[in-house]
Structure 1
Amino acid sequence: MTGRLEGKKAIVTGGSRGIGAAIAKRLAAEGADVAITYAGNEEASKQTVAAIGAAGRTGYAVQADAGDAAEQATAIGAAIDKLGGLDILVHNAGVFAINRVDQDDGSFDRLFAVNVAGVQAGTAAAAPRIADGGRIIIIGSVNAHHSIGPGLAPYGASKAAVAGLARGWARDLAARGILVNVVQPGPIDTDMNPADGAMAVGFQKMIPLGRYGKPDEIAALAAFLASDESSFITGTTIDIDGGLSS
């Protein structure tokens, strides 16, 4: 790794597994101390913190329900205290649900509580304390602008909402040199959406590259956006989906 984040302090929400864990480990490998939040999988959070330590950096874990705005804000504050500052905030915590307009299973409110209100609460808590020249990165979804199938309207709307927030925050924070961007993955091989799962065959047929993405590929983009190399990129969304939405 390049060490391009040497001495930086980062928070990754939802960092115990999947994409979040990959991002936390990559930021640590690039030189950052990293605090993660997790909803309930304490064992997985310990494994991520151990991996951060193995990279020679300091790691912390703070439990928080990202769908509870007050709890999310408190967790972000606690993570900043543990780190002793903040340079990089990655909003990865999120939930997914299939919810047709005529078959509401009650998940609509939870989608927006975690995917939108949790991001808002976390950013509001972090903004006064993040260093000038810092980075805010939101893990969104290509479903924000490309509905892959039926039942994804609420999920896609929640991801479109955070893309809108990011565009506005980029202007709000530009005077302090803080960059705000959204990474929008397509199907990624995680335990929640495995490449050999029931939906995978159908999804892979829609992806020009013919495969699911890997968490490490998302982490590589997040690390770039967290670095000085992204110094003229803000208020944008970047699809990383193997050509799915092209």
Structure 2
Amino acid sequence: MRLNEKIAIVTGGASGFGAGIVKKFVEEGAKVIIADLNIELGKELAAELGDNASAIEVDVASGDSVKAMIDQVVTDHGKIDIVVNNAGIGHIPQPMDELCETVFDRIFQVNAKSVYNLAHYVVPLMKKAGSGAILNVASTGGVSPRPNLTWYNASKGWMITATRGMAVELAPFGIRVNAINPVAGDTPLLKTFMGEDTPEIREKFLSTIPIGRFSTPEDMGNAACFLCSDEASMVTGVAMEVDGGRCI
């Protein structure tokens, strides 16, 4: 029960890595708000997990939507101890000069601006409380980029730098900020990164991961739980690679 009685928000928590983080947090005693654009999927997961999980619809790219969500959580729970910025999108592999501006803008709204939006409304609450943990789900792509995913990689590199900057600035207020860098996982985003899902392309991806498998939602949940728990009270500004050796 490492997160007993903690109030945690997990964006993009209805599926994939986010759902793995939500499940682990609930197992460890937290009350978890699944903040997702897909509210129906979020409600399904909340119903599966019981009274310590609930779902709120939010578009993390919209400041107004995030504010409404934060206000609701504070009304319902009185505080926010943990925020996991997990919501993210990718793009089909393609040359950097061919990606259209609309897709580029959406990638940075969801992967980067969302971190700003959550911080804008949550950090003042955490400063007042004198404690808090923020976790940004970045990517190995932000450390060791793959070709033809340049703008996605750049958005995740932004998240890693933001994590370090936030950690330094917020440490005096008792707020820790870390990131995790998963390698590709068998989640709804996998096909986006691969372009198409075939045994040959999967084998090519797996050949770059020394441990020989994709990241799982459970892997992310375990890493996230540690970094957001008091066990990691001396850990801040870290971008932990949960990647089976991919970045070595």
Normalising by structure 1, what TM-score? 0.91
Distance 1:99 1:118 in 2: 24
Between the two structures, name the one with larger relative contact order (CA 8 Å, sep ≥ 6).
Answer: 2
SS of the equivalent of 2:55 reads strand
Residue 124 of structure 1 corresponds to which residue in structure 2?
120
Counterparts of 1:211 and 1:189, CA distance in 2 = 9
CA distance in 2, matches of 1:183, 1:13: 14
Alignment of 1:1-20 (within 5 A): 3-20=1-18
Distance in 1 (alpha carbons) for counterparts of 2:164 and 2:113:
16
* Matching residue of 2:246: 244
Computed over aligned residues only, the root mean square deviation of the Cα atoms, in angstroms, reads: 1.8
Q: How does 1:41-190 map to 2 (within 5 A)?
A: 41-53=38-50, 57-97=51-91, 98-106=93-101, 107-130=103-126, 131-148=129-146, 150-190=147-187
User: What's the CA shift for 1:133?
Assistant: 2.5
SS of equivalent to 1:102: helix
CA deviation after TM superposition for structure 1 residue 99, in Å:
4.5
Cα distance in 1 for partners of 2:67, 2:86 equals 15
Indicate if the aligned counterparts of 1:89 and 1:135 stay in contact, CA closer than 8 A. Answer: yes
Larger % of helix: which? 2
Matched with 2:210 is 208
DSSP-derived class of the 2:148 partner: coil
Which residue type is aligned with residue 69 of structure 1? G
Q: Give the Cα–Cα distance (whole angstroms) in 2 for the partners of residues 192 and 101 of structure 1.
A: 19
CA distance in 2, matches of 1:127, 1:178: 8
Deviations 1:147-175 (A, max 9, x none): 12x22111111111111111111122111
Q: Which runs of 5+ in 2 are unaligned?
A: none
Q: For the Cα contact (< 8 Å) 1:182–1:238, is it kept in 2?
A: yes
Q: 2:90·2:189 contact (CA, 8 Å) conserved in 1?
A: no
Unmatched runs of 5 consecutive residues or more in structure 1: none
Amino acid at match of 1:108: F
**Does structure 2 retain, via aligned residues, the 8 Å contact 1:116–1:162?**
yes
In 1, the alpha carbon distance for the partners of 2:88 and 2:67 equals: 15
Whole-angstrom CA distance in 1 between matches of 2:26 and 2:173: 25
* 8 Å CA contact 1:88, 1:135 repeated in 2: yes
**Identity value in percent:** 35
Structure 1 Cα separation of the partners of residues 186 and 221 of structure 2: 13
Q: Larger deviation: 41-50 or 214-223?
A: 41-50
Q: Distance in 1 between matches of 2:197 and 2:156?
A: 23
In structure 1, the partner of 2:221 is: 219
Letter in 2 for 1:80: V
Q: So what's the TM-score if we normalise by structure 2?
A: 0.91
Contact 1:182–1:236 (8 Å) recurs in 2: yes
Distance 2:185 2:149 in 1: 16
